[in-house]
Structure 1
Amino acid sequence: MSGNWPETEGMLEVVLVKGGRTKIRYPARLLADDGTRISVRAPWAGEGVRDFGFVRFEPGDVFTEHYWRDRWYSVKEVRDSAGRRKGWYCDVTRPAERSGAVLVVEDLDLDLWCPADGGEVRRLDEDEFAGSGLAERDPAAAAAAVAALDALEDLARTGGLTALPH
């Protein structure tokens, strides 16, 4: 993780699981947990720069992340080191599970990017999702994942993402 945030009360460890294995884990400051939505803030947890072509995540970026216990997605508002909003990176996931200071989220491959400048909303990794075999292993989860991506796209196109606290 870039930047060392002090380990203090009010911290959670976010654990992103994909394909049954831990993809990444990182500390995040707990902002709110109302029993349904959990909101945290964390610096960019990746190594170095990740350039998608349409956005770059890099050291100094700050993510305000929203996870739900009753929705099949998470929404991450991304800001640069100067506090300028880059946009929202949304992951299709199973509903989040929190146990004490650990928040576990299972990534289901589908993602959505919504730029802050009102540019093109992008559905991502649909080929990866198709190749994951989820539709064969767990048709109900696959259907929920596709519905979640559609819901995220609708939120992005109607300005619903901007209504989330930052």
Structure 2
Amino acid sequence: MDARGLGLVVGLLRERLDAGWAPGEIKRLLDSPLPDRVARMSGLVASRLRRLVAVGESPRAQAAAASRERERLARERAAVVDAREAQTAPSVVHMSIHDLVTRLAPGLSPARCARVELAVRQALADAWHRENPQGGKPSPSALLEVLAASGERIAGRVIAENMDGEVA
């Protein structure tokens, strides 16, 4: 091998070793019979290195890619679980309204309590729309702000309107 060919082969070998290939793995992949006539050994070795020992396909690179894929799949599974929990878990707004209604009117039947809670939620949304005439749907955080500011007054009014002779 001449100096130029040796430099080429050494550079290619260094690149593969730096990518995570072990010397034994490289030797195993290159270990095949030589053709009958080889004009330049460095050219043959360089060609085999490029063709058979790809830099991005080292065992270390494959392990890192597999690890990244496992992490991606785990994130996707976690997102699905989070979305499912968000859909099934009662919202903070709903729980806050429920707590307020049961505190202000503890004697309501469950069915009446549910109707009053819906009416309180609608009254909170109406109050938000009066303050925000640009329209749109109030976010849960906006409803919580209205609930914190004037929820007792609104809920008391709604409960009084929905009692229909029922004793609170």
Q: Which structure dedicates a bigger proportion of its chain to helix?
A: 2
TM-score, structure 2 as length reference: 0.20
Q: Which structure dedicates a bigger proportion of its chain to strand?
A: 1
